[in-house]
Structure 1
Amino acid sequence: MAAANPQPRRAHSGSRRDEAARLAVLHAADDLLVEHGFGALTIEAIARRAGVAKQTIYRWWPSKVEILLDTLIEDTEKRLPVPDKPTAEGIRGYLRAFARFVTRDPVGQVLLALIAEAQHSPGTAERFHQRYLGPRRALERDLLARATDAGEISPRLGPDATLDALTGPIVYCALTGASVPRGLVDTLCAALLVPAS
């Protein structure tokens, strides 16, 4: 008589994602966005580029926006982490990295495309805020608060207004295809993050 299994088998909750296929979809979406823009990006094209069935994509993601959000979230965590140490120099370095990210990095193009699409699609705007902008803003706000508490900075505006004023000109340059002027980050930091005296 076979011994009873003390651990009952867990019910299978749907198909598991194959990690290689998942990454292929994320990379395909990123590449196609850069090559053809948001409007021309389709699930069919992503499936073809990734070498997966269209049904596989729809089983894992309800829309191309959700695919792009997954790409953006994962790659931003790796390529543009919010600094741990709350120093004025750390904030300045983060903003310089952000400027490079939105003007040179393909994932920065995903961010810009989602910002643009959010202007026309309330659903995209809501998901973008829920999944990316809200959590990221919370990390950035915490960084400013810790730097203020440490006496590293003395912002002239509230946290959200400070972040908008620091990142807004950079995003505007990127959205309009302009380069970020040399010295812009330093000027913004000097004006908005006045060192505590």
Structure 2
Amino acid sequence: MVDKPAPDATRRSARSRRAIYDAALALVAEIGYPRTTVEGIAARAGVGKQTIYRWWGSKADVLLEAFLDLSTRAGQEPYAVPDTGDLAADLKAVLRITVDRLKDPRFEVPSRALAAEGLLDERLGREVVAKLLEPSLRRYADRLRSAQRAGEVRPEVDPRIALELFVSPLAQRRLQHTGPISHQYTDTLVEYALHGLAPRTRDVPSGTPGRGPVGP
């Protein structure tokens, strides 16, 4: 009598996780996050809902892990901000890539759902920041520190606060639908963040650097 090999629990678990990831992403895309349920994910994946609750605490946790897995498989890991010596050009280049990713239909709906739910669920919000945003934010901050060493940014500027000048408006506009997301928009954010709203030195009379026109 030939002994049958024991079932491989690890492979079975991996298949179940993949089915759950796919089901969560598909349902959010088809019916929206509010109508997606753990029961619905389980039914689509062909597993019991107790399986999901054994691995995750909520549908938001499932979606976050599914989104991270999708990003990894699609080569969407956080990218380094280039350092060509031109800070404005480097920031514009990486923000254009960000716009393209945000508008990718595979990622748009689940990432928007996670961002919106993170505003309501503080624990999830911290997880989204730590796992989705923080790796990219660190790279922006590193590029701004490099610019400080090169004299392109004032030494007293806090890079973590400064990066919010162009990252936060993009996130807010996307989440609140206050306007289109485009390369032109992010290029403008960089210009405003780096140069401010006051007239530039070359636009004001000589002898008054950094100030507006002198009165009579």
Q: What TM-score bracket applies, with the shorter chain setting the length?
A: 0.7 to 0.9
Closer, same or farther in 2 for the Cα pair 1:159/1:74, shift >3 Å? farther
Deviation at 1:84, TM superposition (A): 5.8
Aligned to 1:105: 105
Which runs of 5 or more structure 1 residues have no equivalent in the other structure? Answer: 1-14
Residues 105-142 of structure 1: CA deviation (Å, up to 9, x unaligned):
33233222122112222232233234333344233322
CA contact (8 A) 1:92 1:186 kept: yes
* Alpha-carbon distance in structure 1 between the residues aligned to 2:163 and 2:26: 29
Would you say how many aligned residue pairs link Structure 1 and Structure 2? 179
Structure having the higher Rg: 2
Deviation at 1:90, TM superposition (A): 4.1
CA contact (8 A) 1:83 1:91 kept: no
1:30 paired to 2:30: no
Residues 123-172 of structure 1: CA deviation (Å, up to 9, x unaligned):
322332343333442333224334544x3953795322332221223223
The one-letter code matched in structure 1 to 2:83 is P
Closer, same or farther in 2 for the Cα pair 1:105/1:157, shift >3 Å? farther
CA contact (8 A) 1:80 1:98 kept: no
The one-letter code matched in structure 1 to 2:117 is E
1:72 paired to 2:67: yes
Aligned to 2:3: none
Closer, same or farther in 2 for the Cα pair 1:34/1:112, shift >3 Å? same
CA contact (8 A) 1:80 1:94 kept: no
Residues 26-65 of structure 1: CA deviation (Å, up to 9, x unaligned):
2221221122222111111112222223222222222212
Aligned to 1:119: 119
Secondary structure at 1:183 match in 2: helix
* Alpha-carbon distance in structure 2 between the residues aligned to 1:70 and 1:143: 28
* Alpha-carbon distance in structure 1 between the residues aligned to 2:188 and 2:25: 32
* Alpha-carbon distance in structure 1 between the residues aligned to 2:45 and 2:107: 17
Aligned to 1:82: 79
The one-letter code matched in structure 1 to 2:25 is D
Taking only the aligned residue pairs, the percentage that are identical comes to: 27
Closer, same or farther in 2 for the Cα pair 1:169/1:130, shift >3 Å? closer
Question: Which structure has more RCO (C-alpha within 8 Å, separation ≥ 6)?
Answer: 1
Aligned to 2:158: 158
Which runs of 5 or more structure 2 residues have no equivalent in the other structure? Answer: 1-8, 196-216
* Alpha-carbon distance in structure 2 between the residues aligned to 1:164 and 1:34: 29
* Alpha-carbon distance in structure 1 between the residues aligned to 2:182 and 2:130: 31
1:92 paired to 2:92: yes
Deviation at 1:80, TM superposition (A): 5.2
* Alpha-carbon distance in structure 2 between the residues aligned to 1:85 and 1:152: 17
Aligned to 1:50: 45
TM-score (norm: length of structure 2): 0.67
Closer, same or farther in 2 for the Cα pair 1:130/1:189, shift >3 Å? closer
Q: Which sits farther off after the overlay, 41-50 or 18-27?
A: 18-27
CA contact (8 A) 1:25 1:47 kept: yes
Aligned to 1:176: 176
The one-letter code matched in structure 1 to 2:42 is A
Matches within 5 A, 1:180-195: 180-193=181-194
